[in-house]
Amino acid sequence: MNTLIVTNIGTIVSGDIATPITPGDNIVIRDGVIVSVGSATGVEGVVVDAGGATVMPGLCDNHVHPVIGDYTPRQSQVGFIESCLHGGVTTMISAGEPHTPGRPKDPAGVKALTILAHKSFTNLRPSGVKVRAGAVMLEPGLVESDFAEMASEGVHLVAEIGISGVKDPAEAAQMTRWAQSHGMRVMVHTGGASIPGSGVIGADFVVKVQPDVAGHANGGPTALPLSDVETILEETDARVEVVHNGNVKAAGDVAALLSERGELQRLVIGTDSPAGSGVQPLGMLRTMSWVASLGAVDPAVAVGCATGNVAEMHGLNTGVIAPGREGDLVIADAPLGSQATDALGALAIGDTPAVAGVIIDGAILVRKSRNTPPPVRTIRFPA
Ligand SMILES: [Zn+2]
């Protein structure tokens, strides 16, 4: 049996916004699965001494545009997923693979690409990161049996609607019903146009389609009016997403609106990367800091919006630190020089926390982030 014990933890952030802090100072992972949180004693195994730092669930980026493997044609960049691992990301959810060179737009081609992306990332985790890909781009001509076939091959995502060929809300709503009836999660692009071929989408479209999530409500990159976000909250059951590749001020405004309404369980965080603004390895941490600092959201709850809320929407067994969950953790701290004294304090004042370690399925994959400043505290890893 393979046992990893993280000891001497200052704060355990659970990822569950109902109870965002878990008391105690240690976490035990056995054969990749969390078996104890808070108060284990006398456990034998490999020890990571967190030195009083904060431990949170591995971050789950709700909005990524991968293609195949760890390369993005969007910015001609190799290793972008590995770079995000160094920003604390352990799970990525595809919002579509529109950057695929020569992307087919006929039903057979769309299905083939979606199934290929899904199976490719199922067989290969770049640098250990769990990439849930194969998000079908809706194109005219797809019929219900196509969704049944894709679902039977493991596909569970519809790419953000609005950036592909289906633009008519009635057609989008019909395909959304088919997809959801086969267990898929559906995102609608909202706000201004992102790339040539995409359009401007407001609350009326989202209300007609009734998706599972209104993508980048703070803009991708241009934001909706806040009144449209309010309409989406009132007239749909959709989650609302804020992303790094959006409007910074609107990220705070959307988070504050959800907080005021007592609906932070509907807030999910992503990056929308790679994008025109680049690859953002620290995009999750930075967006969490906007939600906490500009939206005045409890920073431990902001962590939950980037972990447990995303996992819950997609039915993933990660994103929360609790027995039975996959052993995906980030050890984080105040960055050296910050006016804050720990990771949550850093988020609260708008600083990007230091990533001091990343663990996936109980395996230590990052011992020092190459992308964040160093932590204030000393974290000791096994030799
Ligand atoms: Zn978009």
How far is the centre of ligand 1, averaged over its atoms, from the C-alpha of 23 (Å)? 38
Q: Does the predicted TM-score (pTM) go above 0.95?
A: yes
pLDDT band at 138 (very low <50, low <70, confident <90, very high): very high
How far is the centre of ligand 1, averaged over its atoms, from the C-alpha of 132 (Å)? 17
Q: How far apart are CA 256 and CA 254, in angstroms?
A: 5
How far is the centre of ligand 1, averaged over its atoms, from the C-alpha of 167 (Å)? 13
How far is the centre of ligand 1, averaged over its atoms, from the C-alpha of 190 (Å)? 7
Mean pLDDT of 74-80: 96
The mean pLDDT of the chain is 96
Reference 303, options 315, 288, 287, 313; nearest CA is 288
Question: 361-371, pLDDT tens digit by residue?
Answer: 999 999 999 99
Report the chain's terminal Cα–Cα distance, integer Å.
19
The answer to whether the beta carbons of residues 22 and 57 sit under 8 Å apart is no
How far is the centre of ligand 1, averaged over its atoms, from the C-alpha of 160 (Å)? 6
Question: 212-268, pLDDT tens digit by residue?
Answer: 999 999 998 899 999 999 999 999 999 999 999 999 999 999 999 999 999 999 999
Question: 170-179, pLDDT tens digit by residue?
Answer: 999 999 999 9
Check pLDDT > 90 for residue 192. Answer: no
How far is the centre of ligand 1, averaged over its atoms, from the C-alpha of 220 (Å)? 5
Q: How far apart are CA 346 and CA 334, in angstroms?
A: 6
How far is the centre of ligand 1, averaged over its atoms, from the C-alpha of 206 (Å)? 13
How far is the centre of ligand 1, averaged over its atoms, from the C-alpha of 334 (Å)? 32
Check pLDDT > 80 for residue 378. Answer: yes
Q: How far apart are CA 321 and CA 331, in angstroms?
A: 12
Residue of 199 and 120 predicted with greater confidence = 120
Mean pLDDT of 333-353: 98
How far is the centre of ligand 1, averaged over its atoms, from the C-alpha of 32 (Å)? 34
pLDDT band at 292 (very low <50, low <70, confident <90, very high): very high
How far is the centre of ligand 1, averaged over its atoms, from the C-alpha of 268 (Å)? 15
How far is the centre of ligand 1, averaged over its atoms, from the C-alpha of 243 (Å)? 10
pLDDT band at 1 (very low <50, low <70, confident <90, very high): confident
